[in-house]
Structure 1
Amino acid sequence: MSKVHLVRNGLDELLTGLEEGDPVPAERDLAVRFGVARDTVRQALHELLLEGRVQRRGRGTVVAKPKLTQPLSLRSYTEGAERMGRKPGRILVTWEDIEATPDLAAGLDVEVAEPVMHLERVLLADNERIGLESTYLPLSRFAGLYDTFDPETSLYAAIRASGVYFASAEELIETILPTPREASLLLTTTAMPMLHLRRRSLDAQGQPIEVVRALYRGDRVAFQSTLVDDV
């Protein structure tokens, strides 16, 4: 077993005796405790950081909150956060009209260059930045949101309030690294793995409602799905 794995095992045991927010001993103290070089400790801590077990706070490291587990469903981010007892929030980054690219036009069933509403927001859980979401809506259908929607609240709730209901969605999730801009908005680094989600939602008539591109910090968010054998 490598020295990093030995330190990982020791850290796993150490973390079981600590509470959320408790400080993790300094690298130099852990190096002495496990009889290894500080570089070995630093690598083991980095693995725990990527897994979301610990997080940086100032110049130290503390035990992290459990990851926010989001269901793969037609429910909103707000509902998922509230079910875990977390306080959802959002920071508006961009709210503008853009011309539909060929990809957006196909996804939203509109003409190329037709106006599309673009809403970009940082997603919060207990005031911690965990995701960055870009939503694209056909302006011809949802222009009224400019007058009625508060971008710090649930977009899905506002869409349902307008009389449009989600019936199905196509979703793809993969792992990517963020751009410098995305990392800056999420207060992390370009080395932090992100869960990249792309979704196309439809109403009961099969008409597109939205196209979404979202990034979630891999150390702070996980997704859960319930599978049923329909054979």
Structure 2
Amino acid sequence: MPTPSHRAGEPVRAGIPEHGRVPRYYAVKTLLLALIEELGEGVALPSERELAERFEVSRVTFRQAVSELVLEGRLVRRQGSGTFVAPPKLVQPLALVSYTEGMRSQGVEPSRYLVTSEYMAADERLAADLGIEPGDPALHIERVLLADSERIGLESTYLSARRFPDLLSVFDPATSLYAYLTQQVGIVLAHAEERVETVLATPREALLIGTNPAVPMLLLHRLTRDDAGVPVERVRSLYRGDRFSFVTQLNL
């Protein structure tokens, strides 16, 4: 098969094990990455047969390389049409900004649709996070997140029902909760603690988001406080790892 380029910084350089032997599927993956750069977003790959012959590998090896690139969000399969170069991942800043702000800053139109809107009794952990007593009423709003009508995430938000008694009846779940809290309620969001981890979606989550359960997900836990240090919300956000990435700025 053709020899992958070994220029510093290229994927195959980072993927070479100490013994120097590169798995054949990984070499194919590197060649496909170069091809993806040449083709550009939305362009279909040549046929599996053609590329397997060009790279001098079996179709099984070729499919393994393609499958990894699909999971990573570099390629997308379309039933009955073929495999295409995926669009760039969406980027959300790890900062105290809303999902709406993050998407619109990239020229993407955000939207949401409601899955769950309910009152619930806070367990000990939720009560501690929200600064209320165990058993006190809490609000739970669960929404699917969309970007240009594409489902990319699932968000669950928890708030104190006593602090926001009218929220479920007056808040439009298709809009930004941060905008409602700041503009309509007068809350000043001042501080947030956020933790990010990788997980696999549950069958229910995968169905709601419309993704393959095998695709890695990015899970964010956020606890937001107002300018008096009082907890405002606890949020659990699940994003498709093949369509989303996060960015932050670090300063000394």
Tell me the TM-score range normalised by the shorter chain. over 0.9
Instruction: Please give the TM-score of this superposition, normalised by the length of structure 1.
Output: 0.95
1:34 and 2:55 are equivalent in the alignment: yes
Instruction: Please give the TM-score of this superposition, normalised by the length of structure 2.
Output: 0.87
2:169 corresponds to which residue? 147
1:191 to 184, 199, 214: 214
2:86 corresponds to which residue? 64
Aligned AA for 2:32? L
Alpha-carbon RMSD across the aligned residues, in angstroms, is 1.2
1:94 corresponds to which residue? 116
> Any idea what SS the aligned residue of 2:133 has?
coil
2:147 corresponds to which residue? 125
After superposing on structure 2, the runs of 4+ consecutive aligned residues of structure 1 that deviate more than 3 Å are none
Q: CA deviation at 1:25?
A: 2.4
1:209 and 2:219 are equivalent in the alignment: no
Unaligned residue ranges in structure 2 (runs of 5+)? 1-21
For 2:225 and 2:47, how far apart are their aligned partners in 1?
51
Residues 89-121 of structure 1 deviation map (CA, whole Å, 9 limit, x = unaligned): 112111111110111101001111111110001
For 2:194 and 2:237, how far apart are their aligned partners in 1?
11
Q: CA deviation at 1:223?
A: 0.6
For 2:47 and 2:242, how far apart are their aligned partners in 1?
21
Conservation of the 8 A alpha-carbon contact between 1:180 and 1:189? no
Conservation of the 8 A alpha-carbon contact between 2:117 and 2:168? no
For 2:212 and 2:33, how far apart are their aligned partners in 1?
25
2:128 to 106, 110, 117: 106
Greater C-alpha radius of gyration: 2
1:11 corresponds to which residue? 32
Unaligned residue ranges in structure 1 (runs of 5+)? none
How many residue pairs get matched?
229
Q: Quick one: percent identity of the two aligned structures?
A: 53
For 1:25 and 1:117, how far apart are their aligned partners in 2?
51
For 1:143 and 1:45, how far apart are their aligned partners in 2?
51
For 2:85 and 2:170, how far apart are their aligned partners in 1?
41
1:226 and 2:246 are equivalent in the alignment: no
